[in-house]
Chains A and B, each alone.
Chain A
Amino acid sequence: MSTQGSTPTPRPDWLWHVGLVGFVAVWWLVYRQLIPASDWLTALVPVDRHSHAGEAIAFFFYDVPKVMLLLTLIVFGMGVVRSFFSPERTRALLAGKREGVGNVLAAGLGVLTPFCSCSAVPLFIGLVSAGVPLGVTFSFLIAAPMVNEVALALLFGLVGWQVAVTYFAFGLGVAIVAGWVIGRLRLEGWLQDWVRDIHAGATAPGAVEDAALSLVDRYRLGIAAVREIFGRVWMWIILGIGMGALIHGYVPEALMAAVMGAEAWWSVPAAVLMGIPMYTNAAGVIPIVEALLGKGAALGTVLAFMMAVIALSLPEMIILKQVLTQRLIAVFIGVVGTGILAVGYLFNFLF
């Protein structure tokens, strides 16, 4: 996916910089050629371009390469930016912050700090044990998976930058407010016992100093991020776009508008409830979202569905169960779910 290989022989720095500029230039040229290329590919398939199947195939051939291209660039960029952050630095920044300011900062850092849901538990404990308030920790934990570069890249590419910016702003908003509310509720007693003990005897463990990285090291981290994310999400993207293509080609518009249109008030809570048990991620759900929007589903309803799928996933609950009691998880789902509902209704009202 990148022009640079990773042979162990060291290359001069300038070669890396030139390589990067060259890569971005090639990327731009390829990106500009997508529509003709996808039309050409579709023309090779022996179906009528304006039939249901033709529509679905054209959608698929255009969207798959487009999304892959956007992901490569955005994930690489985010990988480089993230190399300036680490969980330890985030902890140092958040420790001793008051609620309010802390929630805003935590949500922002949630976007920028390298995060993998398999590290959610040690990260949670690391923050709580350094004296970061529970609500501030939650702001971080809500923002980190919800506002991620995969979601933003796909939204930008498939639905448009306006929706991507909206999602970004309201994703952060939900994380800040939900974290603040959870902090206000004073639920420290609802942590699992062993976590509470750590919390009570909070001592920040010794810092592991970060090695100074050169710009080339950061490029390497960016490339590693692209590899890793592609390894994880390419299947979801193809499945999601395939689903989206089917919706695009076959689902009648009147049906979708009736079920997910702004007129149907119950569609927002229904979308949130449906989203929670769904096991997919941004890569799988956004192509479906695009197709739904194209068929007349209301933006707020679709946004709520997407946020619920990404932020309130069952696997994450199972991971969090190691540190949170069931009651606290229920409050977490309740507060975040309410926030998402509010966003959904607000958008259906505004647009």
Chain B
Amino acid sequence: MEIKVLGSGCAKCKATADLITRIAAETGTAVQIEKIEDMRQIVGYGVMSTPAVLVGGKVVHKGSVPSREQVLSWLT
């Protein structure tokens, strides 16, 4: 599974990526997490508030660190 975390290096973006990594390890899901920090690319996804999360090329979350339940729902 391919997950992208969009955000230009703010603290919340890092927290989001870490959270997904941790939960994926707990549930044993194989994920590839890519952090996208380049503003042009972020804007290209039509995202207006960071951090945002893309699962399989679709924006599933934006504007805050996602909750545990949200992350779990993406991983299954």
Give Cα A8–Cα B69 distance, bound, in whole angstroms.
10
Q: Is B49 an interface residue (CB 8 A)?
A: yes
Interface residue from A87, A91, A118 paired with B7 (Cβ < 8 Å)? A118
Bound-state Cα–Cα, A194 to B43, Å: 11
User: Interface digits, A174-202 against B, CB 8 Å rule (1 contact, 0 not)?
Assistant: 00000000000000000000100010000
Closest to B42 in A: A122
Contact A129 B62 (CB under 8 A): no
Q: Are B63 and A114 in contact (CB under 8 A)?
A: yes
Q: Is the interface of A mostly helix, strand, loop or mixed?
A: helix
Q: Scan residues 22-76 of chain B and give those whose CB is less than 8 A from a CB of chain A.
A: 39-40, 42-43, 45-50, 59, 62-64, 69
Taking CB atoms, residues of chain B closer than 8 Å to A87 are 48-49, 63
Interface 1/0s, chain A 190-228, versus B by CB < 8 A?
000010001000000110100000000000000010000
Residue of A nearest to B50 (CB): A119
Q: B8 to A91, Cβ gap below 8 A?
A: no
Interface string of A102-134 (1 = CB under 8 A from B): 000000000000101011011101110100000
Q: Please, which residues of chain B bring their CB within 8 A of the CB of A39?
A: none
Q: Which residue of B lies closest to A205 (CB)?
A: B46
B12 at the interface (CB under 8 A from A): yes
Interface of B is mostly: loop
Of A116, A194, A198, the residue contacting B49 (CB under 8 A) is: A116
Max chain A C-beta neighbours (<10 A), residue from B8, B12, B42, B69: B8
Contacts of B10 in A (CB 8 A): 116, 118
Across the interface, do B48 and A126 meet the contact criterion of CB distance under 8 Å?
yes
Report Cα–Cα, A125/B47, bound state, in Å. Answer: 9
Nearest chain A residue, comparing its CB with the CB of B11: A118
Q: Count residues on chain A whose CB falls below 8 Å from chain B CBs.
A: 24
- Which residues on the B side are within 8 Å of A348 (C-beta)? none
Q: In the bound complex, what is the Cα–Cα distance between A262 and B63 (angstroms)?
A: 44
CA distance A123 to B59 in the complex (A): 16
Is B48 a contact of A194 with CB atoms below 8 Å? no
| Count: A-B pairs, CB below 8 Å | 55
Residues in chain B near residue A323, CB distance under 8 A: 39
Chain B residues near A326 (CB, 8 Å)? none
Contact A122 B12 (CB under 8 A): no
Instruction: Check B40–A122 contact: CB distance below 8 A.
Output: no
Q: Distance in Å from the Cβ of B12 to the closest Cβ of chain A? A: 7
A315 CB, min distance to chain B CBs, angstroms:
12
Residues from chain B with a CB closer than 8 A to the CB of A127 are 48
Q: Is the pair B43, A126 in contact by a Cβ cutoff of 8 Å?
A: yes
A88 adjacent to B48 (CB under 8 Å): yes
Max count, chain B CB within 10 A of own CB: residue among A87, A88, A91, A118: A118
B39 CB, nearest partner CB in chain A, Å: 5
Chain B residues contacting A129 (CB-CB under 8 Å) are 43
What is the CA–CA distance of A317 and B48 in the complex, to the nearest angstrom? 19
B43 and A119 within 8 A (CB):
no
A86 adjacent to B63 (CB under 8 Å): yes
Query: Which of chain A's residues have a CB closer than 8 A to the CB of B48?
Result: 87-88, 91, 119, 122-123, 125-127
Q: Decide if A118 touches B46 in the complex (CB within 8 Å).
A: no
Assuming the contacts A86-B63, A118-B8, A118-B12, asked whether A206 and B43 have C-beta atoms less than 8 A apart, the reply is no
14 additional A-B pairs beyond A194-B40, A208-B59, beta carbons within 8 Å, are A88-B48, A114-B49, A114-B63, A118-B10, A119-B48, A119-B49, A121-B8, A121-B39, A121-B43, A122-B42, A123-B49, A129-B43, A208-B62, A322-B39
22 A-B pairs, CB-CB below 8 angstroms? A86-B63, A87-B63, A118-B7, A118-B8, A118-B12, A118-B50, A119-B48, A119-B49, A119-B50, A121-B39, A122-B48, A122-B49, A123-B48, A125-B48, A126-B43, A194-B40, A205-B46, A206-B46, A208-B46, A208-B62, A322-B39, A323-B39
